[in-house]
Structure 1
Amino acid sequence: MALKANHPTLYQEVEQWFKTAQASDFQDIEYTHDVRVESGHHRREKREVTAVALNQMGGLYKQAQWSGLHSIVRVVRTRHLWNKTEKEVMFYLSSLPPDAQRLGKAIRQHWSIENQLHWVLDVTFGEDACRIRTGNAPENIALLKRWSINLLNQETSFKRSTRQKARRASMDSNYLLKVLKASIPLQFNPSEV
């Protein structure tokens, strides 16, 4: 789970602990460290993952609220673009043991899924341009959009993009029924309901 500034006291405590530990070169601290470099799309990204067991930190602010917490992770991303360099530091709370390589892969996979989903939501459903802001409507619409993406992905007979499938389903009721039918488990028996 990403630790963000919406938990200001905990965030500052973790940030300060890592600064202090790094200043002393993690002396007398058990930790794991992993570095990955990837290139593509005219950029190079270096990810440094450092994982520390919770007991190395000596306790955290309101630690009891985080049941099952075992490790704290810091990820430093340095992106070298063709015209500039960007650096970002993120912190994560984890119930996994402090294995930097394993945690780094899990974080990378999570962001890959998030980025792909966000791209589909924005391109297919125009989510960034959506102006629904009041009451429960934003959550409800977001849920319906994600549900729609899942339904469209389950229908495999029409080999097109999600956007093309959505457009076809909106204009062809037979295809819409096919999309809905694809979401029903194969062993579904209406008499059992």
Structure 2
Amino acid sequence: MTPTSGRRLQSGAYLLSDARCCFTAPEDLRHQAVTEEAGHGRKETQKAVVVSAKALGEYHDFPELKGFGRIERTREVEGKATSETRFFALSWMPTPETLLTTVRDHWAIENALHWQLDVSFREDAARNRKDNGPGNIAVLRRRALDVVRRDPSKMSLSMKLKRAGWDDKFLRQLINNISVT
């Protein structure tokens, strides 16, 4: 760890501490959004609050900082409750409802992509862990997924990937589609 990265980590810890302090005043908690969902044997409640924090942006050398968001999530599965609190440094001031929607949509996209990568490429079972290898192979997997998705044939993604491995003509067809755009 370089001295600079140590300062950044330390600064990040102070930013989190200051973010937590922004939510202690009761007047900041008046406007919050709450969502409740139940299904698949679980009940989940999320509460979001957004507060302004422009002055802290200058203090922490974070010029785009406009505010902080906090989402408290409580999840109950088979009578056992767990909770977590997440803080977000924001470069815009969304409403608490918008913050909840944005975070939910982001994770829906992430989960769909990671599920597809794990099913199609068995990414979770990958053993490459040295140097830049994991990052490089991740880029190649995502690009391959993009290329295969663009193929108009009616096969599943898994079948297209298998066929590309077995059939050089089909593989060339997929690769030729890259240069079209």
Could you tell me how far 1:110 is from its partner in structure 2? 0.6
- Percent identity between matched residues is 31
After superposition, what is the alpha-carbon deviation per residue over 1:96-152, rounded to whole angstroms, capped at 9, x for unaligned? Answer: 214111121111111111111111222221222211111211110011111111112
What amino acid is the match of 2:18?
Answer: E
Taking the aligned partners of 1:141 and 1:94, their CA distance within structure 2 comes to: 31
Instruction: Look up the match of 1:163.
Output: 158
User: Is residue 126 from structure 1 mapped to residue 131 from structure 2 by the alignment?
Assistant: no
Question: Where in structure 1 do 4 or more consecutive aligned residues deviate above 3 Å?
Answer: 29-32, 181-185
Instruction: Look up the match of 1:49.
Output: 48
How many correspondences in the alignment? 173
Instruction: Look up the match of 1:138.
Output: 134
SS of the counterpart of 1:156? coil
Could you tell me how far 1:6 is from its partner in structure 2? 9.4
User: Is residue 88 from structure 1 mapped to residue 84 from structure 2 by the alignment?
Assistant: yes
Instruction: Look up the match of 1:191.
Output: none
Change (3 A) 1:143 1:31: farther
Could you tell me how far 1:50 is from its partner in structure 2? 0.8
Change (3 A) 1:53 1:32: farther
Could you tell me how far 1:30 is from its partner in structure 2? 7.4
Contact 2:15 2:60 in 1 (8 A): no
Question: TM-score, structure 2 length as denominator?
Answer: 0.81
Taking the aligned partners of 1:45 and 1:91, their CA distance within structure 2 comes to: 18
Change (3 A) 1:10 1:180: same
Which stretches in structure 2 are left out of the alignment for 5+ residues?
Answer: 1-8
Question: TM-score, structure 1 length as denominator?
Answer: 0.77
User: Is residue 12 from structure 1 mapped to residue 8 from structure 2 by the alignment?
Assistant: no
Instruction: Look up the match of 1:177.
Output: 172
Change (3 A) 1:175 1:50: same
Taking the aligned partners of 1:156 and 1:72, their CA distance within structure 2 comes to: 44
Taking the aligned partners of 1:174 and 1:41, their CA distance within structure 2 comes to: 44
Instruction: Look up the match of 1:154.
Output: 150
Give RMSD over aligned pairs.
2.6
Instruction: Look up the match of 1:63.
Output: 60
After superposition, what is the alpha-carbon deviation per residue over 1:31-76, rounded to whole angstroms, capped at 9, x for unaligned? Answer: 6411112233322221111111114xx5258532x23221210011
Q: Which has the higher helix share?
A: 2
